[in-house]
Each structure stands twice: as structure tokens, then as C-alpha cells.
Amino acid sequence: MDGASFYDDNDVFKTYMQRRQRGESPNDTIEKPVMMELIGAVRGKRILDLGCGDAAFGRESLAHGCASYLGIEGSQNMVNVAKETLAGTKGEVIHTTLENWDYPTAAFDLVVSRLVLHYVDDLHMLLTNIHKALVSSGQFIFSAEHPVITSSDKGWQSGTQRQDWIVDHYFDTGKRVTNWMGGSVRKYHRTLEDYFRETQRAGFTIEQLREGHPQRENFLTDETYQRRKRIPLFLMMSLSKQS
């Protein structure tokens, strides 16, 4: 299944939501702190969130004074949760895929995409649309699964703790089929160089590149902290539109 239909499998969705709520989730201990640092203050900004999931970021951003929030989400299950999350706010969510949405011109100050780009086949087209949708000096900040992770899951059993990783076929980029969360999902592997080249090709200036170096203060236990230092899980980039 592709990313949207994967999360519309009710068993997969239930498993995912349960895992997201567990203590010391890598999303909360590693990805979110770096993303929030890169995003910085959102007051007065018009925000587009691509693959918004449950729209928790939208509710937080609205509480911190962003001018507007629009989430784009391909999974109906996620859209249902996002609408509940945004209830009572001026935030909006649209049910469509990132590839099929009609991107407006110069409509947003900040575009965010968290752990979605590895589900996208035509990255260049998406990046071009994002560049179009941003105002001059606007920011695009994203996270994706680290290329070490997307390269190959050979040697890792789903449901076990990821303490080490076999990197294989790294430069053979393209489609990968991974068994995860009790289902089978299609992802797209790209090298670090690919992300660097494609963002520049779309017209972005790269401001920062981060790999989610774990910080001890974000973990409840030293055991989990030490385990998370062994392999990189996430790639984060902060980009800007200069013209």
C-alpha cells in the first residue's frame, strides 16, 4: 500500500496510534525537538502542513499565534482525527494526496512536512509545488526517514527494537516495500546526496541539515538514550525560498 492507504488499514492505524502514545517515542524524543527548533516562532505565519497526520502541530501553532493553518492529508483515518484535534480552532484540513492538491502561488510563509517525503515517488514535482506555494523568504522544513533506514531492512525483524541496522543497496535508489506496523507499505529510498540535490534543483537554499542527534534531557531512561545513539532514524532539513 502507499502511505495514505496504509494508514487507512484500520489494524495498522490502531497499532500506529498506540505506538505514538507510548513513552519515549522517537518521534517525540528525537524528531519533534529538532523540528520545533528549526521552525522557531510561528506567530503571524500562514502555515501549510503536508501530511499533517493528527494535526497536533496545527493546534499547537494556532495556540502560539500563527495567522492560519492548513493541513493536507491523504488518509481518511488521519483526517478524522485531525478534524477532532482542530475542533474549535480556525485550522483546516483537506483530504487529498500531496501529489494531487492544487498548490496556490505565494500563499504561505511556512510549509512543514513531517515524516512523509519517503512515501512520495516524484519528489521533484512536490518540491517544485512547495516552492511555488511559498512567499519570497518563506521556509520549508521537513523530516524524513534517514537514508540509512530506508536503504534496506534486511536483518531487522518487525516488532523488535532497532538497535543496529544493515545498510545495503544504498546507492540503488527507488521503491522499497517494508513490513511495518503489521502491514506492507511502499516507500522510496533516496541518498542524503539526493535530498541535497533535489532541494537545490527546486530552487531552495539549504539553511540547515540535521540528523536528530539524541539529547539526554528528552529521554526518561538512560537505556533508551544510549540505544537511540546507535543509528540515525531521521533526516531534517530547513530550506528557504530566496526569490
Gap between the Cα atoms of 206 and 221, Å rounded = 34
> Contact at 8 Å (CB) between 209 and 237?
yes
* 57, part of any domain: yes
CATH number of the domain residue 25 falls in: 3.40.50.150
pLDDT of residue 160: 76
- For the chain, the domain total comes to 1
Question: Which residue segment(s) compose the domain that 210 sits in?
Answer: 3-146+191-241
pLDDT in tens, the chain (243 residues): 787 888 998 998 898 888 877 778 999 999 999 999 999 999 999 999 999 999 999 999 999 999 999 999 999 999 999 999 999 999 999 999 999 999 999 999 999 999 999 999 999 999 999 999 999 999 999 999 999 999 998 867 767 777 788 999 999 999 999 888 778 899 999 999 999 999 999 999 999 999 999 999 999 999 999 999 999 999 999 999 997
Instruction: State the pTM of this model.
Output: 0.94
* 173, part of any domain: no
**Residue 107 CA from chain centroid, whole number:** 21
* 208, part of any domain: yes
* 23, part of any domain: yes
* 18, part of any domain: yes
- Written as one string, the DSSP assignment of 161-211 is --------STTS-EEEEEEETTEEEEEEE--HHHHHHHHHHTTEEEEEEE-
* 230, part of any domain: yes
Q: Any idea of the CA torsion for 108, 112, 118, 119, to the nearest 10 degrees?
A: -60
pLDDT of residue 16: 86
